[in-house]
């Protein structure tokens, strides 16, 4: 049985063990986007300096994220059910919209990045046009169609079969991915890659159209991207509600995600260093994946198989979470959750074609991640504060009602929470794009947003 956003998972259905959760999240977070963002981090001050972000900030930002899993395991509710005690039964539609942006957005980005990786694999292997070549449009659409079909199959199989899929994928990653990493390091060498630093301070443009911003690659900027990257694994609670214990629901995801991301972030970092050293210093993060070395070693099938599994296992969770978001937004909808998952799976296909119209995918991906940070950071901060500080870790089963109960507030809306959420998003954008660039070069947008949301919501809740 698949439980909607209005259904509590009973104890007998909480079948995910601690190691199931570790494996689930290890597999889910092994994806092409991890290589890309590892390459971004190496662009700050080189590979060795990037380890501060890859290990330190990565681990630090995953701790509060893990507590979202604890909330879900203790209540048996999905992430959208957990939004109702804070925002109200009707007010939870606001975080549902944010949540849908996270889930569908990442599914689209993952499918597109996976298609780019496949295009370079088949360009080396079978001499087909790559993403960087002219006349590549129909090939890219073909790769995206492959992911649409696979997403449709695996996105709708439900949490029980997803657990089995993630176990199979993890075995693949450990065996084939481990061998691929060995091939990469053996081919490229390691000592000179670790010593690589960019020759100049790198800059990146974010935004599009009239909203174009150029930032130097700084620690503060990458800090924001790291928190946004980790906190937009939004569906942690949707699977932690199936965990057997509090430890399984929180620290299982933490260790699975941390180990996988350290691995693949680092691979992306050394990949961009290799590309820079072998191309006269040119910095090319979009090409920073281990596929080229794998294909050069005569293992094109291995590289393609890893990309397929890495993309589909990540998208399956995003599709699952997106289906739950829609079920929360439309409580009178008669479709089953499984039907919603099929619909979402195939919606990803036309949406994933949209990045083809952008001339600079790097600009698009950075702006997208920063945009999601402005939504996800105040959202999860407020929900953590509401559960652990305001309501002292006690939510009643009224959170599963569609009307009435203690979380009805004012006609279904908890106005202080909704207002604080939008104000928090405004604070993030203030520090990110309104204040002079020199401010963001030394100050993260994340920390002021967390402090603002925590203080304002606590004061408002105490007064009420």
**Do 89 and 412 meet the contact criterion of CB atoms below 8 Å apart?**
yes
Is 250 within the bounds of a domain? Answer: yes
Query: How many other C-beta atoms are found inside a 10 Å radius of the C-beta of residue 332?
Result: 5
**Do 304 and 118 meet the contact criterion of CB atoms below 8 Å apart?**
yes
> Long-range CB contacts (< 8 A, 24+ apart) of 134-140?
137/356, 140/115, 140/116, 140/356
Per-residue pLDDT of the chain (464 residues; tens, 9 = 90+): 788 899 999 999 999 999 999 999 999 998 888 888 998 899 899 999 999 999 999 999 999 999 999 999 999 999 999 999 999 999 999 999 999 888 888 888 888 888 887 887 888 777 888 777 777 888 888 888 888 888 777 767 778 888 888 888 888 788 777 887 787 788 778 888 899 898 887 877 765 566 667 778 899 999 999 999 999 999 999 999 999 999 999 999 999 999 999 999 998 898 888 888 887 778 878 777 666 666 666 666 777 778 888 888 888 888 888 889 998 999 888 888 888 888 887 788 888 887 776 656 666 777 888 889 999 999 999 999 999 999 999 999 999 999 999 999 999 999 999 999 999 999 999 998 888 878 888 899 999 999 999 999 999 998 76
Is 332 within the bounds of a domain? Answer: yes
What phi and psi, each to the nearest 5 degrees, are found at residue 247? Answer: -60, -40
Is 427 within the bounds of a domain? Answer: no
Is 33 within the bounds of a domain? Answer: yes
- Ramachandran area for residue 129 (φ above 0: left; ψ -120 to 50: alpha; else beta): beta
Is 259 within the bounds of a domain? Answer: yes
Q: From CA 76, how far away is CA 63, in angstroms rounded?
A: 20
Domain count along the chain: 1
**Residue span of the structural domain in which 234 resides:** 13-375
pLDDT of 273 reads 87
pLDDT of 297 reads 60
pLDDT of 21 reads 96
Is 31 within the bounds of a domain? Answer: yes
pLDDT of 204 reads 74
pLDDT of 217 reads 85
Give the tens place of pLDDT for each residue, 255-291.
Answer: 999 999 999 999 889 888 888 888 777 887 877 766 6
Is 428 within the bounds of a domain? Answer: no
Is 385 within the bounds of a domain? Answer: no
Give the tens place of pLDDT for each residue, 87-105.
Answer: 999 999 999 999 988 888 8
- For residue 357, the domain's CATH number is 1.10.4160.10
Query: How many other C-beta atoms are found inside a 10 Å radius of the C-beta of residue 165?
Result: 19
């Amino acid at each position: 049985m698949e439980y909607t956003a209005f259904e509590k998972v009973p104890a007998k259905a909480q079948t995910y063990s601690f190691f199931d959760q570790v494996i689930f999240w290890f597999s889910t977070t092994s994806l092409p986007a991890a290589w890309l963002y590892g390459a971004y981090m190496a662009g700050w001050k080189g590979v060795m300096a990037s380890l501060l972000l890859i290990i330190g900030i990565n681990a630090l930002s995953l701790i509060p994220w893990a507590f979202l899993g604890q909330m879900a395991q203790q209540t048996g509710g999905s992430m959208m059910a957990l939004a109702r005690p804070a925002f109200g039964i009707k007010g939870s539609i606001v975080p549902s919209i944010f949540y849908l942006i996270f889930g569908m957005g990442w599914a689209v980005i993952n499918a597109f990045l996976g298609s780019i990786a496949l295009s370079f694999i088949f360009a080396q292997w079978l001499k087909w046009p790559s993403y960087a070549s002219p006349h590549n449009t129909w090939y890219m659409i073909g790769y995206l169609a492959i992911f649409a079909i696979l997403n449709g199959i695996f996105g709708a199989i439900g949490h029980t079969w997803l657990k089995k899929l993630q176990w199979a994928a993890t075995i693949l990653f450990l065996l084939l991915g481990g061998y691929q990493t060995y091939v990469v390091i053996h081919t490229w060498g390691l000592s000179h890659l670790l010593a690589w630093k960019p020759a100049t301070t790198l800059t990146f443009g974010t935004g599009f159209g009239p909203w174009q911003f150029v930032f130097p690659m700084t620690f503060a900027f990458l800090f924001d991207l790291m928190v946004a990257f980790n906190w937009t694994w939004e569906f942690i609670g949707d699977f932690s509600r199936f965990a057997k214990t509090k430890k399984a629901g929180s620290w299982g995801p933490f260790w699975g995600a941390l180990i996988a991301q350290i691995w693949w972030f680092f691979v992306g970092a050394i990949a961009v260093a290799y590309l820079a050293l072998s191309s006269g210093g040119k910095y090319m993060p979009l090409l920073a994946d281990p596929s080229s070395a794998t294909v050069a070693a005569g293992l094109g099938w291995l590289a393609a198989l890893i990309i397929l599994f890495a993309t589909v296992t990540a998208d399956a969770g995003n599709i699952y979470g997106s289906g739950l978001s829609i079920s929360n937004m439309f409580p009178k909808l008669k479709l089953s959750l499984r039907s919603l998952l099929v619909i979402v799976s195939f919606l990803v296909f036309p949406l994933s074609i949209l990045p083809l119209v952008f001339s600079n995918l790097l600009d698009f991906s950075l702006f997208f991640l920063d945009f999601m940070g402005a939504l996800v950071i105040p959202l999860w901060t407020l929900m953590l504060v509401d559960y652990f500080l305001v309501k002292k870790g006690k939510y009643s089963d009224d959170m599963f009602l569609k009307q009435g109960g203690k979380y009805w507030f004012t006609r279904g809306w908890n106005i202080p929470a909704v207002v604080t959420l939008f104000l928090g998003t405004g604070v993030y954008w203030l520090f990110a794009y309104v204040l002079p660039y020199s401010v963001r070069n030394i100050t993260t947008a994340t920390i002021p947003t967390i402090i603002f949301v925590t203080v304002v919501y606590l004061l408002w809740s105490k007064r009420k």
